[in-house]
Amino acid sequence: MGRRILNDALRTIVNAERRGKASVELKPISTVMSSFLRIMKEKGYIKNFQVYDPHRVGRITVDLQGRVNDCKALTYRQDVRAKEIEKYTERTLPTRQWGYVVITTPDGILDHEEAIKRNVGGQVLGFFY
């Protein structure tokens, strides 16, 4: 039985936010997780994150900002076409005004707005708001 590393990490972030923690340490890590955190940082949901020893046995320290209400990783990969991304975000996110869906595409791991701009589809990794 394999562990769901991304799902565990996102749950840890949400739980730390609810407890009012300033930072949280995540281990084990993956490159997908660091890409997901990069998007969260770009969108202003976390302050910063630091990767120590970028292999699976390493760790990531995330500085929290208090903006994350919920974030989840899908345990199954759902394919979504470029034209279907808007419909998927309407179903998943609470409103159109905040929150992002993270998609792995041929152009890399992108949020839904960037994927729509580039007109690429892919598999949904998760979402945060």
Last residue of a domain, one of 64, 82, 109: 64
Residue listed under structure tokens 């300033």: 22
Number of domains into which the chain is organized: 2
Query: Tens digits of per-residue pLDDT, 1-59?
Result: 346 899 999 999 999 999 999 999 999 898 999 999 999 999 999 999 999 987 778 89
| Residue 1 pLDDT | 34
Residue where the block lists tokens 């770009």: 42
Residue 47: name the closest of 66, 70, 32 by CA: 66
Boundaries of domain holding 116: 71-128
**Euclidean distance between CA atoms 6 and 126, whole angstroms:** 9
**Are both 10 and 54 inside the same structural domain?**
yes
Contact in structure between 124 and 78 (CB atoms under 8 Å): yes
| Shared domain check, 100 and 42 | no
Examine the domain organization and report whether 29 and 84 are in the same domain: no
Could you tell me the pLDDT band of residue 101, with boundaries at 50, 70 and 90?
Answer: very high
Buried b (16+ CB within 10 A) or exposed e, 49-65: bebeeeeeeeebebebe
Q: What confidence score (pLDDT) does residue 43 get?
A: 94
Q: Could you report how far apart the first and last alpha carbons of the chain are, in Å?
A: 29
Q: Looking at the structure, tell me whether residues 100 and 52 fall in a common domain.
A: no
Average pLDDT of the segment spanning 72-79: 88
- Facing residues of 10 across strands? none
Average the pLDDT over each of 8-12, 81-85, 93-97, 121-125 and give the range with the smallest value: 93-97
Structure tokens at 72: 């989840």
- State the CATH number of the domain containing residue 80: 3.30.1490.10
Q: How confident is the model at residue 62 (pLDDT cuts 50, 70, 90)?
A: very high
